[in-house]
Structure formats: C-alpha cells, structure tokens
Structure 1
Amino acid sequence: MPKAKGKTRRQKFGYNVNRKRLNRNARRKAAPRIECSHIRHAWDHAKSVRQNLAEMGLAMDPNKAVPFRKRKVKGMEVDTEARPKELVRKPYVLNELEAEASLPEKKGNTLSRDLIDYVRYMVESHGEDYKVSGGWLGRHPW
C-alpha cells in the first residue's frame, strides 16, 4: 500500500534543543527507583504512595502515624470515635524489614589489604619516626 502523502520526512537534528536539559527533565519526571527490594517488589504503580505504604503497614507521615495527644482546656466532653485502623494487606513486607533490621551490622571501616601491608612495612622499617619515611601518613604509594 502506498504511504500517505507528506508523512515521510527525514529526521533532522535539532540544533536549538538543549540535550542536557532534556535529559535532566526526563530523569526528574521518571519514577524514582525504590532502593529497598522488599518495598519495590510489593509496590503497585496504580496506587498512590500513601495507599502503597498503608497496605504494607508503613506510614508516610510519622506525625500522623503516632498521634500526639494535645492537652485540651476543660470543657464539655464529647464522645470521640476512634478512627478505624487501616488494613494491612501486605504484612510480609513489614516482617521482612524487621528481620533485615535485626541482623547484626557488618563492620565496614577496614582499610584495603595492600594499604595495611604498606603501613606495616613502613612501621617495621622506620618505626614511629614518620619524618624519615617521607611523611607516609596520609599518602599512598600509587
């Protein structure tokens, strides 16, 4: 079948388009990546953030999750109904997060193996006199 007249046009490079700004705006509009894998797998993109977190048993606003009891001036007591608790449809997310948080923390403040070997060599050869070794504290040989 023949194509409609005027519909085929070769693509031209837009010199007046700021590509950096275009990419930055596209990144801003794209949905952010959820770092927590437990929350990411249970996320429903059709629902809002508040609805998703409420289904997982999490709170979007900590001030509303734990209500602050305000002191009231003595007056008439009115029967206040407690608002119904939101239904937690995905409790496994909360259980997985609690299990992950209860694991012992891994120590990550160690130096690299080659740096430890270099420092050990310098201390053995020069002792505590860092001026003889050329001020090796804070400098790397590489």
Structure 2
Amino acid sequence: MGKVRKKRKNTYNYNINRKKLKIRARKKMAPRIACDELRRAWDDSRSVATNLAEMGLAADPNKALAVRAETDTSTEPKYVRKPYVLKELKAAASLPSKHTMGISSDMVFYVRHMVENYGEDYKAMARDDQNYYQDTPKQIQRKVDLYRRHHPDEYKALITSRTKQ
C-alpha cells in the first residue's frame, strides 16, 4: 500500500521584492558590451541592427558588402546619426595596443647571444649549447623576428657589429 502524500499549500512570500528581482534578471540577461565607444552610444530601447546602423556599422556584413559591383561605390553609410562613434573607434584603433606581449629578459639575452655569434644562420643556432629548450631553426627564427619587431635599433646594432668582425 502506498503512502499518503501531503501537499504543502503555496504561500506568497512577502519578504521578496519582485520588482528588484525582475530588474536584476534583465541586467543579467543583457549582453555586456566590452567596447566603451559602443556602450556609450548604445540605446537599449532599439534593436541591435538599428543601433549599429545609427553608428555607421553593419549588423550583416553580407548586406553591407554586396558581391556584385553597384553603381554607388561610396564606403560611408548613408544614414549615420552617431558619426562620433566611428571617429572614436578609428582613433582607438590607431593607438598602439596596450596588450602587446613583451619579451622576457631571458629571451632577450638568448636572442642577443645567438645573433652576436651566428648572425642569421638559424641552423647553427639550433646546434648551440645555449639552446637549452632544443628549439628548431624555425622556432629560433620566430624568436629573432619577435625581438627584431620589439627592439629594431638594438637588432640593427647587433647585425652591424657582427658584420664588422
């Protein structure tokens, strides 16, 4: 024989502020816009496509860049209500990146040693005793290129001192 189940009556909880819960849920569901320029110009009452169109951006790249050549070849959007967003984005893109990866002092020492002794002979660098991690010539070349991009003046000085010897 089965047990008799007791059903508890649903009661209203007066201690919960339902309006505040609804606002919190809406904030949690809304996407977080990482770009400061877009976040400042964003209007929550409008759709994504409308917001982007007002800023001069495209929601659908297939519609923005047609496959066939059209008679109107202007790249600027026609109806831009917030052109300052494009200007701010271009200005932010032209600034040097804050998140560029630097080179460790150990790697700088390693690359200087290799370039001073071997110049650009990466196969000889791979056979060097200082090559503790047994880097391949291609891996060493990538490290030298990274050093060259971050310290172009020092690299030129290393190469010129190598050629004088």
TM-score range, shorter-chain basis? Answer: 0.3 to 0.5
More helix by share: 2
What TM-score, normalized by structure 1, do the two folds share? 0.48
TM-score when normalising by structure 2? 0.42
Identify which of structures 1 and 2 has the higher relative contact order when contacts are C-alpha pairs closer than 8 Å and 6+ apart. Answer: 1
